[in-house]
């Protein structure tokens, strides 16, 4: 009976709505996965850079494997220190793209890491090396 008689004031209604809004936003931005437009832009830029690096690294591995002295180059690459491997790949020209003046950040190191992980170089068919 007392519950039916209760009538909250306007001040209580307003503060309840403000509190519910704050709790909703806090939960949305933490556990709900909401992001601001600035954060979404940063995430999209990072994803684009990573995708570009992965693509260029794949091309680099294919070029490296199809080079004439690939086995010797792989052996030389494995002998270099880990911090010098990206430079080795860049100097070899395997990561360079036609029409792109600057190197793609991270592509040379990713290419070197993929090559180091390989036990044997993949065989490249004549059709694949011609394209």
Per-residue pLDDT tens over the stretch 10-35: 999 999 999 999 999 999 999 988 99
Write down the pLDDT at residue 54: 94
Q: SS3 of 106, please?
A: coil
The predicted structure's pLDDT at residue 42: 95
pLDDT in tens, 21-73: 999 999 999 998 899 999 999 999 999 999 999 999 999 999 999 888 888 98
Q: What average pLDDT is seen over the chain?
A: 87
d(CA 75, CA 5): 86
Q: Determine contact, residues 107/68, Cβ cutoff 8 Å.
A: no
């Amino acid at each position: 009976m007392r519950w039916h008689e209760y009538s909250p004031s306007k001040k209580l209604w307003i503060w309840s709505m403000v509190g519910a809004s704050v709790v909703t936003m806090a939960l949305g931005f933490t556990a709900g996965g909401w992001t601001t437009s600035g954060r979404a832009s940063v995430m999209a830029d990072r994803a684009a850079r990573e995708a570009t690096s992965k693509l260029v690294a794949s091309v680099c591995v294919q070029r490296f494997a199809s080079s004439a002295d690939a086995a010797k180059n792989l052996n030389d690459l494995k002998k270099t220190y880990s911090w010098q491997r990206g430079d080795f790949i860049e100097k070899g020209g395997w990561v360079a793209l036609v029409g792109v003046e600057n190197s793609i950040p991270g592509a040379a190191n990713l290419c070197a890491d993929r090559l180091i992980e390989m036990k044997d170089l993949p065989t490249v068919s004549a059709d694949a090396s011609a394209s």
